[in-house]
Chain A
């Protein structure tokens, strides 16, 4: 036996017999489901990370750029503030000259909207382009002053709306103007329009349907890619994301955007040193990576479902095959058992049949021999000793002879009956109409003088043993023939009727002596007679033979009679 066969046999015997087979199958299914769940989770988090990190990178890029911008502006402001001639003019209190020295800056750097100059106390001394009515005002409460004066370092303010017309949203970058000893002589401010500062932002492609906005150090929205030219400054400091930015955090998350009413990826990055922040937001539905992720996960799920389905189907199939095999096995054993019992029964029947045959043979042979002797020697006495016998004696001997002859007939009929039981059956289509016609011809030949009207329905056929069916018809038609012998216009009919249940019932009908239905149950008994032998000859076996023949064909037989009007015998042949 090869290894494979051994394995297969072992497996199949396990499937066939082990009580643990369900446990093993459940375990296998659980493993598949667990693997599917694990890889689903893994792949989902992987893909989510990919999708998120892209947004995060964009946010960080923007924050870095903003950082660089602020750095540059601060550098510019510092270099302007340290120009020697400028410092000298400021220290000399020549504010107008000082600001005039910087005129070129507004031309070279157009993003700088305005320059202003204050003393170290925050009182505005000069500005360019000059705005009416601001010179001499003290701005010590302004953020730009507080910011720069806190440590006398360059300061980038949060966004604010310029007091003077046009009321633009601006930021101020303020730097101290120091003398050689490091003493502060004044403050130089650069006012920058926020649109100019952030003109590069819309050029950054954050993705389909994505938008970005920038918040300042107070949590005010400085710029929004979807809402350009904001006139009003919007305070976002209560937004959770902005609060995180104000705390100097950066990161990415998926959350529900109340304004947009949908799931979004939100990436945020702060601009270190300036307290500003960048937020990049994209609806989940538009995220290519996430859409792809969903598709991928759907495919994965479908794949695992398919595997699971196949597994389950295989398991079901295997179990069904196993149970079918089991059934087949028990069927086989049942069949074998049945066959054994049938053959036993057949053997019993055969032996019973053989006994019956031996018995019949013995009856036929041995019972008749003494009868013949009784009859023969009675006759011999009558012939040889006639002179010594009176009429009484001769009468008695004749009665002895009549009785023996009748017994001979009875024996013959009994043998005929037992032959019906023993005869081997053949199943063939039998032309019953033709059989009936033949039987009629024989009857007519036996008594040529009788005039009987015959009505045989043509074309009637049945399935059965022709010899036995002929015997049945001989008895039925013979009875009809016999019991119509006293009628003036005897009539015998052979035909068939179709019953309500679809079965065909053949019948033999006569208008003869008939019988009382009260005795119908005795009709088919052996040696049962409803008429005296003196009226009609017979042994009372004929209908018993008919019944036995019809029963052997699986059919039913019944008789219907009315005294002095006739009898009808019906029989069926299920075939």
Chain B
């Protein structure tokens, strides 16, 4: 059985650190791969050597990213047959209605707004981890079926 990997797409090093800290405080010890812009996130799935990398159990996707923004990343993940069933959780500062609507329209599995209060943030991460890493049964991914 593959290890359950978390792909964190986040350009802000503070947020990255805080997210990692929140994961740690919740004793979520899964491997976390960090992509620091949209391109890196897409490279994980479709770049060189992508076939050898395991599909993440959960993608935590920020929206405002350098190069390629989060919504575009989501669109491309959903557009590809190999990754269209990939669980993606949008984790962002924005509560703009437009972002929420577009996110769901593009097929995000969840939309979480990062609270300013760190205690609330930790609680949000705890619930996410519990849900996606433990409770949720992921779809068998296409790439694994092909193997």
Residues on A close to B: CB < 8 A? 360-361, 364-366, 368-373, 375-380, 401, 404-405, 407-408, 412, 415, 419
Contacts and interface: CB of A to CB of B under 8 A. Distances in A.
15 contacts: A364-B93, A365-B92, A366-B64, A368-B116, A369-B15, A369-B93, A372-B121, A375-B117, A375-B118, A377-B18, A401-B118, A404-B116, A405-B117, A407-B116, A408-B116
Among A371, A373, A376, A380, find the residue whose CB has the most chain B CB atoms closer than 10 A: A376
Interface string B81-119: 000000000001111110000000000000000111111
The 4 tightest CB contacts between A and B, nearest first, are A408-B116, A373-B14, A376-B118, A376-B18
B143 interface: no
Contacts of A408: 115-117
A466 B94 CA distance: 24
B116 A360 contact: no
What is the size category of the interface that chain B forms with chain A? Answer: 20 to 34
A65 B99 CA distance: 127
Contacts of A375: 116-118
A376 B118 CA distance: 5
**Which secondary structure characterizes the binding site on chain A?**
helix
B96 A360 contact: yes
A361 B14 CA distance: 20
Interface centre among B114, B116, B117, B119 (most CB of A within 10 A): B116
A368 B117 contact: no
Given A377-B18, A380-B21, 19 more contacts: A364-B95, A364-B96, A365-B93, A365-B94, A366-B64, A368-B93, A369-B12, A369-B14, A369-B93, A370-B14, A371-B116, A372-B15, A372-B18, A372-B115, A373-B12, A376-B18, A377-B14, A379-B118, A401-B118
Contacts of A376: 14, 17-18, 21, 118, 121
A499 to B, nearest CB: 36
Contacts of B18: 372-373, 376-377, 380
A372 B118 contact: yes
B15 A373 contact: yes
Contacts of B93: 364-366, 368-369, 372
A404 B96 CA distance: 20
| Residue of A365, A370, A404 with most partner-chain B CB within 10 A | A365
B8 to A, nearest CB: 15
B102 to A, nearest CB: 12
Contacts of B95: 364, 412, 415
Nearest to A375: B118
Interface-central residue, A360, A372, A375, A378, by most chain B CB under 10 Å: A372
Contacts of B114: 368, 372
Given A369-B12, A369-B15, A405 B116 contact: yes
A364 B116 contact: no
A379 B116 contact: no
A272 B87 CA distance: 144
A366 B96 CA distance: 13
Given A372-B15, A373-B18, A377-B14, A364 B117 contact: no
Contacts of B94: 361, 364-365
Contacts of A404: 116
Most chain B CB within a 10 A radius of its CB, from A364, A371, A377, A378: A364
Nearest to A368: B93
Q: Kindly name the residue among A361, A371, A408, A419 whose own CB sees the greatest number of chain B CB atoms within 10 A.
A: A361
Nearest to A406: B116
B15 A379 contact: no
Nearest to B22: A376
Nearest to B113: A368
A370 B96 CA distance: 18
A396 B18 CA distance: 20
Nearest to A408: B116
A279 to B, nearest CB: 115
A361 B119 contact: no
Which residue of A368, A380, A419 has the most chain B CB atoms within 10 A of its CB atom?
A: A368
Nearest to B19: A376
B43 to A, nearest CB: 24
Contacts of A407: 116
A411 to B, nearest CB: 8
A403 to B, nearest CB: 11
A366 B64 CA distance: 9
Contacts of A378: 118
Interface string B110-136: 000011111101000000000000000
Contacts of B96: 360-361, 364
B64 A365 contact: yes
Nearest to B18: A376
A373 B116 CA distance: 8
Contacts of B121: 372, 376
Contacts of B97: 419
B56 to A, nearest CB: 23
Interface string B36-80: 000000000000000000000000000110000000000000000
B24 to A, nearest CB: 11
A360 B92 CA distance: 15
A409 to B, nearest CB: 8
Contacts of B15: 369, 372-373
A362 to B, nearest CB: 9
A364 B118 CA distance: 17
A376 B93 CA distance: 14
A198 B18 CA distance: 152
Contacts of B14: 369-370, 372-373, 376-377
Nearest to B21: A380
A372 B119 contact: no
A372 B116 contact: yes
Nearest to A382: B118
User: Which has the most chain A C-beta neighbours within 10 Å: B14, B15, B118?
Assistant: B118
A412 B14 CA distance: 21
A404 B17 CA distance: 18
Contacts of A377: 14, 18
Contacts of B117: 375, 401, 405, 408
Contacts of B12: 369, 373
